[in-house]
Amino acid sequence: MPVFFGRDISRFAEFISVWYGDSPMHLAPGKTSVKILYPSDYLPTPNPAQTQVIDKFVSGLESALGINRTEIPLSELWEKHCPDGEQHRDIATYLEFVKAGICPFYHDQYHNSADFRNQYKDKYGKPPFVHRALHWQWNVGKAISQEERDECWCRSEIYRHWLLENVFKADDEDTVTVMILPIEAGKPNYRDTDEKFKAKRSVERICCT
């Protein structure tokens, strides 16, 4: 799903108006109410300083909009609805997030770029030079079978539809629902370090088993 990041929230309205245009998803401010979801599965984070920043931001939203956050336990809701059957009651086990969400992307990325790799090698006599992070993604992608990719994609889609229908209630034209989520653990994350690639190799073992 497309997203954008910014340090000045006052610019978001302008960006959104261009991004969505006349789309029915673009709801005019003031004509809808807003609901803030605060997922207890992710918040507070293990990093107190990060949690303090997040809570300060949420408190600002509450004050500006004149509403209170709604705490929501996603895992409990999933277990209550069981959208993919009783055998999949545990959402963490069902998703194994890096597997269900990322592996289809890595698989498709690897196979969709096959022509580029082959044509480059035929023309220059050597593989194309790419960042080692992309090399890692290709190595993961080529080890994922089509069946594994399709199963992960199916689970991601079931999760997406469940979220839209039961959590965000996307069809509600009178309310816009937003969810507060942390990005990682609120600490430096350098993709080129050896420690980063040790962590990536552990992800590779998860995706390819």
Please give the model's pTM, rounded to 2 decimal places. 0.80
Q: Using pLDDT thresholds of 50, 70 and 90, give the confidence band for residue 12.
A: confident
pLDDT per residue over 58-113, tens digit each? 999 999 999 999 999 999 999 999 999 999 999 999 988 557 788 899 999 999 99
Count how many domains the chain has. 1
For position 23, what pLDDT does the model report?
A: 72
Q: Decide if 150 is inside a domain.
A: yes
Q: CA 158 to CA 155: how far, in whole Å? A: 5
Q: What number is the average pLDDT over the span 10-18?
A: 83
Q: What number is the average pLDDT over the span 161-171?
A: 94
Ordered alpha helix ranges (H), 21-145: 48-65, 74-81, 91-95, 97, 103-112, 114-124, 132-142
Burial classification of residue 99, based on how many CB atoms lie within 10 Å of its CB (0-12 exposed, 13-18 middle, 19 or more buried): buried
Q: Decide if 77 is inside a domain.
A: yes
Coil, strand or helix at 53: helix
Helix (H) or strand (E) run with residue 35 in it? strand 33-39
pLDDT per residue over 21-65, tens digit each? 777 666 666 678 999 999 999 999 999 999 999 999 999 999 999
Q: Decide if 17 is inside a domain.
A: no
Q: Decide if 149 is inside a domain.
A: yes
pLDDT per residue over 106-121, tens digit each? 999 999 999 999 999 9
Task: Pick the closest to residue 155 from 203, 103, 106 (CA basis).
Answer: 103
Q: Decide if 188 is inside a domain.
A: no
Domain enclosing residue 37, as ranges: 32-183+200-207
- State the average pLDDT for the chain: 86
Q: Decide if 5 is inside a domain.
A: no
Q: Decide if 190 is inside a domain.
A: no
Q: CA 197 to CA 133: how far, in whole Å? A: 8
Q: Decide if 8 is inside a domain.
A: no
